[in-house]
Amino acid sequence: MDDVDNKTPIPPPKKADPVEEALRAPAPSRALDRLGEALGDAIEDVAYHCGVPIVRVGRDRIVEVARFLKEDSGSRMLLLADLCGVDMIGLRGAPRFDVVYHLTGPDTRERITLKVAVEEGGEVPSVTPVWRGANWHEREAFDMFGIRFAGHPDLRRILMPEEFDAHPLRKDFPLEGREKDHGFWRRPEDETRNTYRD
Amino acid sequence: MEAQFLMFLALAAVALAASVMVITRRNLVHSALYLIVTFFAVAAIYVLLHAEFLGVVQLLVYAGGIMVLFLFVILLVERPGTGPAGKPMRWHAAASGVLTLLVAAILGAHFLRSGMAPPGGTAVLGASGGNLETVSLALFRNYLLPFEVVSVLLLVALVGAIVLARPRA
Amino acid sequence: MFGTTEMQINMGPQHPSTHGVLRLELKLDGERIVDTRPVIGYLHRGCEKLGEDRTYAQAIVYTDRMDYCAAFAENLVYAEAVERLLGVEVPPRAQYMRVVLAELQRIASHLIWLGTHAMDIGALTVFVYGMREREFILDLFESYCGARLTYNAVRVGGMPEEFPEGWVEEARRFCDVLPSRLDEYHQLLTANRIWLARTRGVGTIDGKTALDWGMTGPCLRGSGVAYDVRKAIPYEAYADLDFDVPIGEAGDTYDRYLCRMEEIRQSRRIVLQALDKLPGGEIRGKVPRRIKPPKGEVYHVNEGPRGELGVYLVSDGSEHAYRCRFRSPNFVNLQALPDMVRGHLVADVVAVIGTLDIVLGCVDR
Amino acid sequence: MSETLLRFVVVPVAQIAVVIAALLLIVVYLVLLERKINAFMQVRLGPRRVGWHGLLQTVADVIKLFTKEDITPRHVDRLVFLLAPVVIILPALAAFAVIPFSGGSFRVGSVGVRAWISDVNVGLLYLLAITSLGVFGVVMAGWSSNSKYPMLGGLRSAAQMVSYEVPLGLSVVSILMLAGTASLVGIVQAQESAGRWFLFWTPYPQILGLFLYFVSGVAETNRLPFDLPEAENELVAGFHTEYSGMKFAFFFLAEYINMVLVGCLVAVLFFGGWLPVTFGIPGLREPLSNFFPFWGGAGAMLTGFFWFGLKVFLVLFLYLWMRATYPRYRYDQLMRLGWKVFIPLGLGHVMVTALAILVRRG
């Protein structure tokens, strides 16, 4: 595992690049405005990138925020386009993971990104009650990062085999090499076998 | 005649052996398949007696129709490979023994009285030119009323089965 | 007297009509589906992990291997996402070229869907007919980029090559042939009583539920929701092109079938328009040799043949993506399968898998 | 050689041998024909490698199947598993015992030889009975495989065959009434003496009967669009999923023999068997009935083979055409079609035919 340097913060960009400036330019968002009015205290931070607001939300408030964005007549984020985890270990250290929600309003044609930070071994409330489609996404995030979702109906591995014992998208998971047996191919009767090569 | 008698003996032996298998197999599907063999042998005996129509109908109705339904029910109800569960009850053996003896006694008495010679029916059937006509004449002319009564009875049974099988609202 | 037990049956991962290595654990009452549990991951190759290990330009190759029936769409969305991160403008000619190829790819992909879907329902001939037209498109792609399946035909900032000589005429010729072939398919299927019996009222899902599951693409539009990324959040040159978005009403397999069939026609329309309007000029934007986007992140979507293709890239300022995430429309659409087949018969599972038009390479990534 | 021996042993055995050999040959080329016709309809070429235009392709396939390792899975019910292919192919072959392939006759010594193995007066019923036995092979195969897909296939086919036997029988009943005999030879002769096929019988042409018979026949032989017992896209290969090599070849063979059987029956029952196609022109009848007058009865028999074969081929072509055109029905739809459409139609058809016979008698 890499050593993580928690002490030195990432230095801010030295010179304001016009392209970068344009990328970070705030964009008007009706959904964000409505959210700010109704649940302003849940918003921890707002950033913009490529014209989409990125809203950092408190971990306990995510279901509330999600439900508001979906059901509020002004934002109508009916489509949970994507939900994924990000291992932030190389960017900020702790808390280790971000869970990222990409929402789309099919009729408002707006998009918004929500982010929730969670430490290793922590739990994020599941948004499956809000969008049923979150089910497999959350299972995948669990599978790939080991992020647990509280209240998920069926939190099992989805892409990796059930007996696999690591979380491959974490930054400390090696891309190659077979030093460690992750439980692949191991059946109860051949406990003696270590890897599938022998 | 001699050849016919030999064939009868062979077929009867097959029928009997298969029937014994039907009741001794623990596997329901095997029993059903042996029952088909029995039907086959009996149909062949009919043909031997120049009752081709009966023989064919035996196959068509019993082997082709009823046994398929039997198998269907067995397959649906039973899981493949498992025999009927539980031991037969003790009084079953006693009762079936008594009944077998009784039937054997009645048949034996009958045969002893009338002799083994077949009754002269086959000659009559064969002479009237194809027993399809004979049977249909008997059914639709001589015994029309019983025939119709039986059909109505079957219809009633059919309707009854549908009523029983209908899902309760 | 007698009780019946539910039957557990495994459909796949080796099964002729699960479109690859999808495995379904079916619970049956007779032939009626009580419950379905899709099991996926048999084709998981870790494309996201690979995308984090390779440079931005190298990672395009991996996108080919996800939806191998529509590799160009995957190439495109990834390249566009990187362009967004870089803040690079793509020259108009490249934009139109991309549209032409993307729409041809959509037609090819829909033809595969049509063929396999019809074959699952037992219509053998449609499959061969669909392949015949698809072959034409594959030839076009081959003469453009040299590959027939995994194209790698997009570069960050533009296109790798000009269209070769005579290519545009060939593409036009294809567009001329296509309508009569489409009529052939319609004759074979659209009014066929058996086809209607097998697809009407099968796998019905209403628009609200479909959105709730996150479904996109023709599967969503078949349920009457007119959400198409090409219209909603236009990218490339789509804003300048005139086309309709077909939507269904009932949300059943038949409506989705009609939707896709009409989409083929619309795609042809787009291709013809784009070829007419094809501007001159550069095909590569100003992209540095070493692609090092500034810190930031982007979630970019395209309308792929099977739905909303998304790419989420997090850049830490280096040559590799810090986080590379592919949003697969198949993965999301497949979730709704248990819902869509509950109470139907085994044969309908096959029809619904066909109508979802999944590609397992894209589901598992 | 005594006449009895000749009449009761040599001639029948020779006939049976000829019929079986011819059937096998026909099936081999029917398979090739199917592949070629489907290929033609699907803008393909079909087999072309083995022999001239692939003419030996099926022969090669048969050799392959027969030399393949014969696998019997461990979990099967051995006896039933081995018997099933036999049970399915025997009725299919036995049915041909009563099919009259042609008219005419020739003499071998003092014994007249006809183009049928036997002419029994319950021929039609015999056929119905014997073909209804084929279902046992399917059920046995499905059950004994002790595997879920074959089991479902077996169940489906039991239900399907039982259901479609009824409309099949009903459409035959009206033919029976028209001919006044259940002998297949008698049926053809009745059409000969009536001067027209039963298909064009006045005042009530048996077109509905033909439709019912053919469609039910397709359902009985498990061909598209009714090939549910072995629907490869749902049940992998249905009841014969666990079979391989020669045993699989038996199932395959039985399916095609049954197709030929349905073709033969349609020809006999509706198209006048070996009678020539005269388009209703009376003068054509004599010359078309015997292309080889100098050979007498044998010439007439040969000519009859030609006409009979032509009719059977037409029916088989229809089979193949349907396979290339139609999607597959769903199991419940198939049952609904059988019970709610075909059986009432068949009953009505019998009634109307009876009425028509009364009308004709005056």
Q: What is the mean pLDDT of residues D313-322?
A: 88
The DSSP result for D296-358, as a single string, is: THHHHHHHHHHHHHHHHHHHHHHHHHHHHH--PPPHHHHHHIIIIIIHHHHHHHHHHHHHHHH
Cβ separation C2–B79 shorter than 8 A: no
Contacts of C350 (CB under 8 A, 6+ apart): C17, C120, C121, D233, D234
pLDDT score for C107? 92
Contacts of C115 (CB under 8 A, 6+ apart): C126, C127, C128, C129, C130, C131, C134
Which one of D225, D234, D323 has the shortest CB-CB distance to C350? D234
Domain boundaries, chain C: 46-364
Query: Regarding beta strands C23-29 and C32-39, do their DSSP bridges make them parallel or antiparallel, or are they unpaired?
Result: antiparallel
Structure tokens at A124: 């994020």
- Please check the confidence at residue C327 and state whether its pLDDT lies above 60: yes
Q: What is the mean pLDDT of residues D345-360?
A: 88
pLDDT score for C1? 35
- Please check the confidence at residue D213 and state whether its pLDDT lies above 60: yes
Please give the domain boundaries of chain A with CATH numbers for all domains: 17-182 (3.30.460.80)
| CB of D347 less than 8 A from some CB of B | no
Which one of D38, D148, D327 has the shortest CB-CB distance to C123? D327
pLDDT digits (tens, 9 = 90+) for B86-104: 555 677 778 888 998 999 9
Structure tokens at C361: 């390479």
pLDDT digits (tens, 9 = 90+) for A73-91: 777 888 888 888 888 887 7
* Residues C194, D225 contacting (CB under 8 angstroms): yes
The residue in chain C having the minimum alpha-carbon distance to the alpha carbon of residue D153 is C31
In degrees and rounded to multiples of 5, residue B4 shows phi and psi of -60, -45
User: Mean pLDDT, chain A, as a whole number?
Assistant: 77
pLDDT score for B152? 93
Of A108-117, B120-129, C106-115, D94-103, minimum mean pLDDT range:
B120-129
The residue in chain C having the minimum alpha-carbon distance to the alpha carbon of residue B78 is C4
pLDDT score for B153? 93
pLDDT score for B157? 92
Q: Which chains touch C (3 or more CB pairs under 8 A)?
A: A, B, D
* Residues A43, A29 contacting (CB under 8 angstroms): no
pLDDT score for A28? 77
Task: Give the length of chain D.
Answer: 362
In degrees and rounded to multiples of 5, residue C27 shows phi and psi of -110, 120
C29 min Cα distance to partner chain D (Å): 11
pLDDT score for B150? 92
More confident residue, B123 or C74: C74
Best mutation site among B68, B137, B158 for testing chain D: the one with the most D CBs within 10 Å?
B68
Cβ separation D152–C189 shorter than 8 A: no
Query: Please, which pLDDT band fits residue C233 given cuts at 50, 70 and 90?
Result: confident
Touching pair C, B by Cβ (3+ pairs < 8 Å) = yes
pLDDT digits (tens, 9 = 90+) for C38-71: 888 888 888 888 888 888 888 888 888 888 888 8
Which one of C124, C125, C198 has the shortest CB-CB distance to D330? C198
- Please check the confidence at residue A184 and state whether its pLDDT lies above 60: no
Of A190-194, B67-71, D222-226, minimum mean pLDDT range:
A190-194
| CB of A132 less than 8 A from some CB of C | yes
Q: What is the CA angle B106-B107-B113, rounded to 5? A: 95
Cβ separation C125–D41 shorter than 8 A: yes
pLDDT score for A188? 54
Query: Please, which pLDDT band fits residue B154 given cuts at 50, 70 and 90?
Result: very high
Q: What is the pTM of this model?
A: 0.80
pLDDT digits (tens, 9 = 90+) for B11-34: 889 999 998 888 888 777 888 888
DSSP C155: B
Structure tokens at B104: 């054997």
Residue D273 parent element (H or E):
none
Structure tokens at C234: 């236009």
Alpha-helical regions (H) of B25-143: 28-48, 52-57, 67-77, 90-114, 121-127, 131-137
Query: Please, which pLDDT band fits residue D157 given cuts at 50, 70 and 90?
Result: confident
Cβ separation C4–B77 shorter than 8 A: yes
Which of chain B's residues have a Cβ under 8 Å away from the Cβ of C2?
77
Size of interface B-C (CB pairs under 8 A): 5
Best mutation site among C286, C311, C323, C326 for testing chain A: the one with the most A CBs within 10 Å?
C323
- Quickly count: other Cβ atoms within 10 Å of residue D318's Cβ: 14
Cβ separation C87–A79 shorter than 8 A: no
pLDDT digits (tens, 9 = 90+) for C92-139: 888 899 999 999 999 999 999 998 888 888 888 888 888 888 988 999
* Residues A128, A134 contacting (CB under 8 angstroms): yes
D59 min Cα distance to partner chain B (Å): 34
pLDDT score for B169? 57
The DSSP result for A14-74, as a single string, is: SS--HHHHHHT-----HHHHHHHHHHGGGEEEEEEETTEEEEEE-GGGHHHHHHHHHH-TT
d(CA D55, CA C134): 30
In degrees and rounded to multiples of 5, residue C60 shows phi and psi of -60, -35
Instruction: Show contacts of C54-60: CB within 8 Å, 24+ apart.
Output: C54/C320, C55/C291, C55/C319, C55/C320, C56/C82, C56/C156, C56/C291, C56/C293, C56/C319, C56/C320, C56/C321, C57/C155, C57/C156, C57/C291, C59/C321, C59/C324, C60/C152, C60/C154, C60/C155, C60/C156
Q: What is the CA angle B65-B68-B69, rounded to 5? A: 90
- The torsion of the CA quartet D30, D34, D40, D43, rounded to 10 degrees, works out to -150
Q: What is the mean pLDDT of residues B141-151?
A: 89
Which of chain D's residues have a Cβ under 8 Å away from the Cβ of B57?
125, 129
Q: Which chains touch A (3 or more CB pairs under 8 A)?
A: C
Structure tokens at C161: 């090559």
User: Mean pLDDT, chain B, as a whole number?
Assistant: 78
DSSP B167: P
Residue C310 parent element (H or E):
strand C307-315
Peptide bond into C13 cis (omega under 30): yes
d(CA C244, CA D90): 60
Domain covering C46-364 assigned CATH 1.10.10.10 in the classification: no
Query: Regarding beta strands A52-57 and A110-118, do their DSSP bridges make them parallel or antiparallel, or are they unpaired?
Result: parallel
Residue among D2, D6, D5, D1 nearest D112 (CA): D6
Structure tokens at C91: 């020259």
CA C223, chain centre distance (Å) = 17
Q: Order of strands, edge to edge, in the sheet holding C7-11?
A: C7-11, C23-29, C32-39
Cβ separation C4–B79 shorter than 8 A: no
DSSP collapsed to 3 states, C26-58? EEEECCEEEEEEEECCCCCCCHHHHHHHCEHHH
Q: Which chains touch D (3 or more CB pairs under 8 A)?
A: B, C
* Residues A159, C44 contacting (CB under 8 angstroms): yes
Task: Give the length of chain B.
Answer: 169
Q: What is the mean pLDDT of residues C307-318?
A: 87
CB-based burial, C244-268: b 16+ in 10 Å, e otherwise = ebbbbebbbbbbbbbbbbbbbebbb
Using CB atoms and an 8 Å cut-off, which of residues 239-298 of chain D contact chain C? none
Side-chain-side CA neighbours of A87 within 13 Å: the count stands at 23
- The torsion of the CA quartet C31, C33, C38, C42, rounded to 10 degrees, works out to 0
Residue among D131, D83, C3 nearest B68 (CA): D131
Cα radius of gyration (chain B): 20
Measured over the CA atoms of residue D193, residue D199, residue D200 and residue D205, the dihedral's sign is: positive
Which of chain D's residues have a Cβ under 8 Å away from the Cβ of C348?
330
Q: What is the mean pLDDT of residues D354-359?
A: 87
d(CA C237, CA D297): 81
Please give the domain boundaries of chain B with CATH numbers for all domains: 3-79+120-165 (1.20.120.1200)
> Predicted ipTM?
0.74
- Please check the confidence at residue A179 and state whether its pLDDT lies above 80: no
pLDDT digits (tens, 9 = 90+) for D165-183: 888 888 888 888 888 888 8
Using CB atoms and an 8 Å cut-off, which of residues 304-343 of chain C contact chain A? 308, 310, 312, 314, 316, 322-323, 325, 327, 331-332, 334-336
The DSSP result for D177-246, as a single string, is: HHHT-S-HHHHHHHHHHHTS-GGG-SSS-THHHHHHHHHHHHHHTT-TTS-GGG-HHHHTTGGGTT--HH
Of A178-192, D33-47, D117-131, D288-302, minimum mean pLDDT range:
A178-192
Peptide bond into C164 cis (omega under 30): no
The residue in chain C having the minimum alpha-carbon distance to the alpha carbon of residue B75 is C4
C12 min Cα distance to partner chain D (Å): 10
pLDDT score for A183? 57
* Residues D80, D86 contacting (CB under 8 angstroms): no
* Residues A66, A114 contacting (CB under 8 angstroms): yes
- Please check the confidence at residue D104 and state whether its pLDDT lies above 90: no
* Residues C223, C248 contacting (CB under 8 angstroms): yes
Which one of C123, C188, C345 has the shortest CB-CB distance to D330? C345
pLDDT digits (tens, 9 = 90+) for A8-48: 555 555 556 777 777 777 777 777 777 777 777 777 787 88
pLDDT digits (tens, 9 = 90+) for A60-69: 888 888 888 8
* Residues C93, C279 contacting (CB under 8 angstroms): yes
Alpha-helical regions (H) of chain C: 47-53, 56-64, 71-86, 92-120, 124-145, 167-185, 193-199, 207-212, 218-221, 229-232, 253-277, 329-334, 337-341, 346-356, 360-364
Q: In terms of C-beta density within 10 A (0-12 exposed, 13-18 middle, 19 or more buried), how is residue B145 classed?
A: exposed
* Residues D184, D99 contacting (CB under 8 angstroms): yes
> Torsion-angle region of residue C12: left (phi > 0), alpha (psi -120 to 50) or beta?
left
pLDDT score for B149? 93
Of A98-102, C18-22, C274-278, minimum mean pLDDT range:
C18-22
d(CA C365, CA A146): 18
Q: Which amino acid is at C90?
A: V
In degrees and rounded to multiples of 5, residue C130 shows phi and psi of -60, -40
Cα radius of gyration (chain C): 21
- Please check the confidence at residue C221 and state whether its pLDDT lies above 60: yes
